[in-house]
Structure 1
Amino acid sequence: MELAAASNTDVTAGPRAAVTIRSPKREDGAAVWQLVADTASLDDNSMYCNLLQCSHFASTCAVAEMDGEIVGWISGYIPPEHPDTYFVWQVCVAEKARGRGLAKRLINAVLARRVCADVRRIQSTITSDNKPSWALFSSVAETLEADLARQAHFKRDTHFAGKHDTEFLVTIGPFGREALPVRSAA
């Protein structure tokens, strides 16, 4: 993948419609909220949360567009206490854009940005039954030639009062920057 450093845009063409990966804008918040709401395996956030992610956290989030429609989303941030870690909050891809490796490309697009120059680890939380997320993060770890560790983080009874399955903290890394996609000069 080639990432345009100046615009944070990745345009991928092929036999199907081209997909553009870019930083989100405030105006994308409602479309992102709808995409997340339409993805049954994800917890809903308020639209206001997505608006904040698209504005305050735009440098560590990305959208994927196809024919002018947002079909992919990654939200994440760099925890202040761990500047070498990118925490992935949510990744989702619309049904019509699946099968293109888009979730992994969204992660790679964010990691290739200057804001992630010091990142050597990826973290996220995943429930044990979320097979697509486990497959995605296993694939990312394999590509980065890095270890993948998991441990219970937010427990069903302790943290969720029995109303949500345990979330396991997944940690990929450490990994070297040479394993990441190359940014183009353009």
Structure 2
Amino acid sequence: METIVNQKLKGVVTINTQTATLNPADTLVLEKPSVEDGSAMWELVNNSSLDQNSAYKYIMMCEHFAETCVVAKEEGKVVGFVTAFIPPERQDVVFVWQIGVDSSQRGKGLASKILNELFDRDACRDVRYLEATVTPTNEASQALFKKFAKEHNTTCEVSECFPKELFPSDEHEAELSFLIGPIEK
């Protein structure tokens, strides 16, 4: 890998100032989000079937958790993201709050690339586990996390996290906990 700082090259993905060559027609940049990216992340969610959070949540995540959040941009437009944080009492875990991928990017493995970029971040150097919650009907996210575990040659433990009864609306499903790891670096 060749190091390139603040440069976007055609046919190259910029990842934490390192580049990885993709299909020559692709131009995709994975980077830390800025507060200006928060509204684009919210819009991406708003135009999908993902759980909608307030625009403030995305802006706040970009401000206070940029080291553990990733945006994917194509020609300057946000086409994917992950919001995540390291729980203060569990420094060896990165908790993935939400992953969003624009419909134009689905089927290209972007969510996997974003998760791997997150895990490779310097902020995650002491992280050995990835955790997320997923509803029982969200088969795409379940498959993504199981694939991540398989690619990293580790386990994916699934357990009940938040039962449906905890949520104020009958519309919200239970949340299952996915704990992946330990992950060797």
Could you state the TM-score of these two structures normalised by the residue count of structure 2?
0.88
Q: Which amino acid aligns with 2:134?
A: I
Is the alpha carbon distance of 1:151 and 1:70 closer, same or farther for their aligned partners in structure 2, counting shifts above 3 Å? same
Residues 48 and 144 (structure 1), Cα distance of their counterparts in 2 relative to 1, 3 Å cut: same
1:160 aligns with 2:167: yes
Choose from 87, 91, 99 the match for 2:107: 99
Computed over aligned residues only, the root mean square deviation of the Cα atoms, in angstroms, reads 1.9
Which structure 1 residue ranges, 5 or more long, are not aligned? 178-186
Which of residues 33, 36, 47 is equivalent to 2:45?
A: 36
Q: CA deviation at 1:91?
A: 0.5
Indicate conservation of the 8 Å contact 1:5/1:113, yes or no.
no
Residue in 2 that maps onto 1:27: 36
Partner of 2:54: 46
Contact 1:77 1:87 in 2 (8 A): yes
| Secondary structure of the structure 1 residue equivalent to 2:164 | coil
The one of the two structures with greater contact order (alpha-carbon pairs below 8 A, sep at least 6) is: 1
Identity %: 37
Q: 1:5 to 1:116 in 2, by over 3 A?
A: farther
CA contact (8 A) 1:121 1:175 kept: yes
- Alpha-carbon deviation of 1:17? 2.9
Q: Secondary structure at the match of 1:138?
A: helix
State the alpha-carbon separation in 1 of the partners of residues 137 and 68 from structure 2. Answer: 26
Question: What pairs with 1:8-157 in structure 2 (closer than 5 Å)?
Answer: 8-9=16-17, 12-40=21-49, 42-157=50-165
Report if aligned partners of 1:3, 1:112 keep a CA contact under 8 Å in 2. Answer: no
Count of residues in Structure 1 that have an aligned counterpart in Structure 2: 174
Q: Distance in 2 between matches of 1:132 and 1:65?
A: 22
Q: Which consecutive segments of 4 or more residues in structure 1 shift more than 4 A?
A: 2-7, 9-12
Residues 12, 19 of structure 1: 8 Å contact kept: no
Q: CA deviation at 1:150?
A: 0.9
